[in-house]
Amino acid sequence: MITSTSNPRVKRVRALQTRRSEREQEHAFVIEGIRLAREAVRAQVPARLVFHTEQIDARGRGLVNSLARLGAEIQVVTPAIMAACSATESPPGLLAVVDLPQRPLPSPLTFALVIDGLGDPGNLGTILRSAWASGAEAIFLSDGTVDPFNPKVVRAGMGSHFDLPLCSFAGDQLPEALAGMSLWVAQARTGLHYASVDWRTPVAILIGSEAEGPRPELRRRATGLVQIPMRREAESLNAAVAASILLFEVLRQRGQP
Amino acid sequence: MITSTSNPRVKRVRALQTRRSEREQEHAFVIEGIRLAREAVRAQVPARLVFHTEQIDARGRGLVNSLARLGAEIQVVTPAIMAACSATESPPGLLAVVDLPQRPLPSPLTFALVIDGLGDPGNLGTILRSAWASGAEAIFLSDGTVDPFNPKVVRAGMGSHFDLPLCSFAGDQLPEALAGMSLWVAQARTGLHYASVDWRTPVAILIGSEAEGPRPELRRRATGLVQIPMRREAESLNAAVAASILLFEVLRQRGQP
């Protein structure tokens, strides 16, 4: 049983939890808890290392076995070590280091989301969860955006990370994969009513940072601006809510994901 | 200048930040930061006490003066005292104790939201923000729901607390104000497509807890269930996202808030 925070495996997990550079170099990230472990097993993601406490229940033990079959080394740790490795206030009974998923881009691409500069990890995770549920086929994240494998993004994403192609791009030009698609920028109080756009053609939706929207280089490439009309006295919507309303309008018009 | 956490005003602010019973007894709550202070001034909410640091800028000073005109006692505090009173990780330059708003229910009521058992304060705040923006006229919160004046709810609510009538009710029966309105329950994977409901008649939307939905006593009173169709493999949406998609479908059908 691992009991010390100076154990090299503990140090590795903590580095992956706290540093984007570590995740990118190791090409791995950490998932916490039963639910995400179940999603990883469902998606058959290669697993490298599992920490679990002795207190996990039968369901947890079943998942540990499944993760072992996906390649993970299994280690029992004390609750104190689990707490030291967890990014949450209530540490789970198990966590796992798994490969960064690499889903291929579908071809042709007909429904994508482009994110530039979003800073709040909870917002990004919620957007990924909505994007996956709405039938979006890929997410493009500019270099100014919070890391999608940040622990808070992973938690709010509820497993969507395993299914959605997530592509990073340099924010000064659009990814080539979006050539030929309409690009609509979500904007407060300007542009077309979001429900008056025909979303049944190949489309990408561009979501910018909470405070400033997308950078000018990307905005200039847009087909147009769309807004979600709202009560005059209200200032704006939460960024994840605004993105989700647009994503589900696409699905409403298309009829099925 | 207040420099000690044993100052009675500091103790009072900290009690209001941490205890619902204190907020209900004093009939007051705490708002933090420039943005919420501006909203309080706009809504002309009676203010009781302002703490600010010496470092606030001209805009902050202007708001302090406006809050003084709304009745607030003004106190300069050290950054350490502000940090001890703040519910956020980055303490603001000012905070204020203001009256719990009491907006009258509009009559007739045509668009309401009923919340039963929602537990996450960020979700509730985001829902209040969306509800206000979408034109909802009142929110009814059952006794099993997180306090709408919890600091995290207030922060995510972005000022909607000052404008929306917020009514609490014992969760075992529906509020009388909803008599004669349709009541639709949001539910994953069962019920009518949310866009096939006619939302132009007087309607209330019932949102339950993240894990279990609304309690049976309330569910039994529903006109019907509505769902937001989604990709089969996706499990569910974030509760604030699901509520917001329904709220904005009402607005889309009605055309204006």
pLDDT tens, position by position, B72-126: 999 999 999 999 999 999 999 999 999 999 999 999 999 999 999 999 999 999 9
Put simply, the answer to whether B245 touches A240 (Cβ < 8 Å) is no
C-alpha triplet A234, A238, A242: angle, nearest 5°: 95
**Percent of chain A at pLDDT above 90?**
93
CA distance A234 to chain B (A): 5
For range A60-88, the mean pLDDT? 97
pLDDT value at position A199?
A: 98
Judging contacts by C-beta atoms under 8 Å, the chain A residues touching residue B126 are 238, 240-241
CA distance A248 to chain B (A): 8
Measured CB to CB, residues of chain B less than 8 Å from chain A are 122, 126, 129-130, 132-135, 156, 158-160, 163, 195, 228-238, 240-241, 244-245, 248, 251-252, 256-257
Q: Which of the residues A199, A245, A254 would you substitute to probe the B interface, choosing the one with the greatest number of B C-beta atoms within 10 Å?
A: A245
Residue A257 has pLDDT above 80, yes or no: no
| CB-closest option in A130, A159, A228 to B248 | A228
pLDDT value at position A210?
A: 85
pLDDT value at position B233?
A: 87
* Average pLDDT over chain A, rounded to an integer: 96
Q: How far apart are CA B159 and CA A248, in angstroms?
A: 26
Query: Confidence class of residue B6 from pLDDT cuts 50, 70 and 90?
Result: very high
Query: Which residues, at least 6 apart from A150, have a Cβ–Cβ distance to it below 8 Å?
Result: A20, A121, A124
For range A112-127, the mean pLDDT? 97
The domains of chain A, with CATH numbers, are: 8-99 (3.30.1330.30), 111-254 (3.40.1280.10)
pLDDT value at position A235?
A: 84
Q: How far apart are CA A234 and CA B154, in angstroms?
A: 15
CA distance A245 to chain B (A): 6
Judging contacts by C-beta atoms under 8 Å, the chain B residues touching residue A126 are 238, 240-241
For range B199-224, the mean pLDDT? 94
Put simply, the answer to whether A230 touches B156 (Cβ < 8 Å) is no
Cis previous bond, A108, omega within 30: yes
Region for A71 from its dihedrals, namely left if φ exceeds 0, alpha if ψ lies in -120 to 50, beta otherwise: left
Put simply, the answer to whether A238 touches B132 (Cβ < 8 Å) is no
Put simply, the answer to whether A257 touches B230 (Cβ < 8 Å) is yes
Residue B256 has pLDDT above 90, yes or no: no
| CB-closest option in B133, B163, B233 to A230 | B133
What pLDDT, in 10s, does the model give residues A195-239?
999 999 999 999 999 888 899 999 999 999 999 999 988 889 999
For range A114-118, the mean pLDDT? 96
For range B132-137, the mean pLDDT? 98
Residue B210 has pLDDT above 90, yes or no: no
Q: How far apart are CA A46 and CA A71, in angstroms?
A: 6
Q: How far apart are CA A1 and CA A51, in angstroms?
A: 10
Q: Where are the alpha helices (DSSP H) in A19-120?
A: 20-26, 33-42, 58-69, 79-85
Q: How far apart are CA B226 and CA A111, in angstroms?
A: 25
Residue B181 has pLDDT above 90, yes or no: yes
**Percent of chain A at pLDDT above 70?**
100
Q: How far apart are CA A207 and CA A247, in angstroms?
A: 11
Query: Confidence class of residue B218 from pLDDT cuts 50, 70 and 90?
Result: very high
| CB-closest option in A160, A245, A251 to B248 | A245
Quickly tell me which residue has 């009974």 as its tokens.
A93
pLDDT value at position A177?
A: 95
Judging contacts by C-beta atoms under 8 Å, the chain A residues touching residue B89 are none
Put simply, the answer to whether B122 touches A122 (Cβ < 8 Å) is yes
Q: What is the ipTM of this complex?
A: 0.95
pLDDT value at position B142?
A: 97
| CB-closest option in B130, B231, B235 to A241 | B130
| CB-closest option in B159, B234, B257 to A231 | B257
